[in-house]
Chains A and B, each alone.
Chain A
Amino acid sequence: MATMAMDNNIIRVALTGNPNTGKSTIFNEITGARQKIGNWPGVTVDKKEGHVTFEGKHIQVIDLPGTYSVNARSPEEKIVIDYLQEAQLDLVVDVIDSSNLERNLFLTVQLLEKGIPLMLDLNMQDEAKRRGIKIDVKKLEKKLGYPVLLTVARDGKSIKNLLNVFTSVSMESYGPSEDLQAHIAKIQEIENSGLTGMDLQEAIIKQRYAFIDEILADVAEFSSVGSTLTEKLDSVLANGVLALPLFLAILYAVFQITFEWIGQPIADALEEVITGDFTEWVAGALEGAEVADWMQALILDGIIGGVGSVIIFVPLIFMLFFCLSFLDGTGYMARVAFIMDPIMRRAGLSGKSVMPLMMGFGCGVPSIMGARALDNEKDRILSILAAPFLTCGAKLPIMALFAAMFFPDNAANVVFAMYIVGVVMAIVSTKLLTAAKYKDETATFLLELPPYRMPDMKTVLLETWDKGKGYLVKAGTIIFVGCVLIWFLGAFNMDGMVEEQSESFLASIGAVVGALFTFHGFGNWEAGAAVISGILAKESVVSTIGVLYGLPDISAEAEDAVETAEALSATGMAAAFTSLSALAFMVFSQIYTPCVTALGTIKKETNSWKMMFFAAGYMFALAWVVSLIVYQGGKLLGFE
């Protein structure tokens, strides 16, 4: 049972509840940026802690993982029940979706049975009202014996009320009501009845729902209000023939916002600053301080050229993550899983794989880890092997750079096409593996569709930052180290510093790999070096190109096409790639061997070196073949 906190100066509050009840919104509203996200020990489940000072009192808030029950069947359920029973807490707030009382009260009743005193926060009152649900708070308090509060998570007044309650309510003055005690007695009776296994579970669940029905009959009024907005929207967005085309249209709009309307102009401005004023200022300062020429080259070409070429894409990454977080906040992303389910099933995966795979558009690593949520081995392995094909945030700069340079009039469309290539390859690969290894194994798919709502901007911005900051950290760490390494390899050989990069260590290594792509149109050592560095981290493909060719103009606007072409010829990339070989390179980069972090995660998740090496080799071979088909096929069709 939760015990009172020992430290009188800190009020410790835990938030619990079902997923999609607005728990995280309440947590974000209360704690803002003052939160710490980590892992619960031993498991990869988010541990969120935040703090706030209200009326001179320090409050620590713990956002527990969302769960439907506490049977300790999953890591989330185990964490919730262990924490609530062992931690020293002043208050446990059970956040309830008021528009879905019956399902939410199951967890509430189960926690109360275990002797955990709760404050019930009947959240989403706006949604409940829209659905014609009216709850008598006083009656509910009397029925259970514990305090009840009505809130709308994004409403400042509700948050203030909650903070007032956190600082003023003492749970010691509450205890189980007679009705609750009678229910607990019935549960104990069932447990001692001699029933075992599934029969016992069924009897307990039946009693719990009987008690919930009794509560609802006493405290809630349901009036018919016809179809809700969610039902109306779902009839178009999630069902029927329009669902898939609308999904593609929404995705296309996201790409236009990111690559044409908002993200790209900001990226262009940032590029101008980095390649213009900033580089000139650094060059002037180094010259003035009489720094050696080789050190000047290392800083200007190696570090600013390399890291700078990655930093330029930060606005695109943040814009894309903002759009995806916004869509997630509206509840639409859950529909995407639903819409994609039939397609995934045809490929041999269950619809449940869609959600971890969708994480692959952010990063392959959590996508691979997310496959843990899948029930059977076949789905887990197939999902793990499909995730790296998707266009993660790190591949995005490669696509954006090549699209802007070689297809300046259609940059957004080409990048969009690359995302589609990733999805198609994930499906094709899964189909191939299913046919080769896994047959006749199916799994059921259960997914809760939350109601549509206007996303909370604070939550969207915090999520955007949470997802995008890793890109900045990587630019300052692994990319920085990689750029210095690539510069040294490109500036030296066994005889010392070289005049021409083509005589360097990097050229020798790159030439070996580059030879593999003789028939792909990019059989040069620079491309070979970029491919190798991409296995270290996908962003390194761009930073290597930045170091080897100098930072190119990435402008994608049609009116800048002439400038782009001039910049292109100035960098030497024009001689290295044609539009067709650039497209073949983009396709190869989209599909080939994932980065070392993703490979390490595959090893960790499958506990198999064999699977990791298979993934690395299989994806390289598949990329090699598809890229060859693109180049040679394009040539046959008369493209250059």
Chain B
Amino acid sequence: MATYVIGLILLVLLGFAGRHVWNNFRSGKHDCCGSDCGCGCGSNCISRK
């Protein structure tokens, strides 16, 4: 019984994780950092002038 319960919980968690990965893939988002300029340029982003 415990095996089935844990298996079900794992399936639900896998479903959530899989949905997140799929949504990222579809929308072109990524988890690498919170914002597109957030992984290393901080306040010193180059101006596009």
Q: Report A's interface with B, CB cutoff 8 A.
A: 19-20, 24, 37-39, 44-46, 66-68, 73-76, 286, 289-292, 295, 298-299, 324-325, 328-329, 331, 333-334, 337, 352, 355-356, 358-367, 369-370, 373, 392-394, 446-448, 450, 459, 463, 465-467, 469-471, 473-474, 476-478, 480-481, 484, 597, 600-601, 604
Identity of the chain A residue whose Cβ is nearest the Cβ of B25 in the assembled complex: A600
Instruction: Give Cα A329–Cα B40 distance, bound, in whole angstroms.
Output: 11
Given known contacts A291-B6, A477-B21, A470 and B36 CB-to-CB distance under 8 angstroms: no
Most buried by A among B38, B43, B45: B43
Instruction: Give Cα A469–Cα B20 distance, bound, in whole angstroms.
Output: 15
A44, A289, A355, A467: the one contacting B44 at CB < 8 Å is A355
Q: Report B's interface with A, CB cutoff 8 A.
A: 2-3, 6-7, 10, 13-14, 17-18, 20-21, 24-25, 28, 30-49
Q: A360 to B40, Cβ gap below 8 A?
A: yes
Q: B6 to A295, Cβ gap below 8 A?
A: yes
Identify the 7 closest CB pairs spanning chains A and B, nearest first. A362-B39, A363-B32, A359-B40, A74-B48, A466-B34, A328-B42, A289-B2
Which residues of chain A are near B44, meaning CB under 8 Å?
Answer: 19-20, 328, 331, 333-334, 337, 355, 450
B2, B3, B31, B45: the one contacting A473 at CB < 8 Å is B31
B6, B21, B28: the one contacting A478 at CB < 8 Å is B21
Which residues of chain B are near A392, meaning CB under 8 Å?
Answer: 32
Which residues of chain B are near A39, meaning CB under 8 Å?
Answer: 35-36
If A299-B6, A299-B10 are given as contacts, then 15 extra A-B residue pairs at C-beta distance below 8 Å, sorted by A number, are A19-B43, A37-B38, A46-B38, A73-B49, A286-B6, A291-B3, A291-B6, A292-B3, A328-B42, A362-B38, A362-B39, A463-B38, A470-B31, A471-B31, A481-B14
Given known contacts A291-B6, A295-B3, A362 and B33 CB-to-CB distance under 8 angstroms: yes
Given known contacts A20-B44, A76-B48, A470-B31, A46 and B37 CB-to-CB distance under 8 angstroms: yes
Which residues of chain A are near B30, meaning CB under 8 Å?
Answer: 363, 365, 470, 597, 601
Which residues of chain A are near B31, meaning CB under 8 Å?
Answer: 470-471, 473-474, 477-478
Instruction: Give Cα A325–Cα B40 distance, bound, in whole angstroms.
Output: 7
Q: Give the shortest distance, in Å, between A437 (CB) and chain B (any CB).
A: 24
Which residues of chain A are near B3, meaning CB under 8 Å?
Answer: 291-292, 295
Which residues of chain B are near A470, meaning CB under 8 Å?
Answer: 30-34
30 intermolecular pairs with C-beta atoms under 8 Å apart: A37-B35, A37-B38, A38-B35, A46-B37, A74-B47, A286-B6, A325-B42, A329-B42, A356-B46, A360-B40, A362-B40, A366-B36, A366-B37, A366-B39, A370-B37, A373-B46, A373-B48, A393-B32, A450-B43, A465-B34, A466-B33, A466-B35, A470-B32, A470-B34, A477-B20, A478-B17, A480-B13, A480-B17, A481-B18, A484-B10
Which residues of chain B are near A363, meaning CB under 8 Å?
Answer: 30, 32-33, 39-40
Which residues of chain B are near A75, meaning CB under 8 Å?
Answer: 48
Instruction: Give Cα A140–Cα B46 distance, bound, in whole angstroms.
Output: 30
Q: B32 to A362, Cβ gap below 8 A?
A: yes
A37, A67, A324, A476: the one contacting B17 at CB < 8 Å is A476
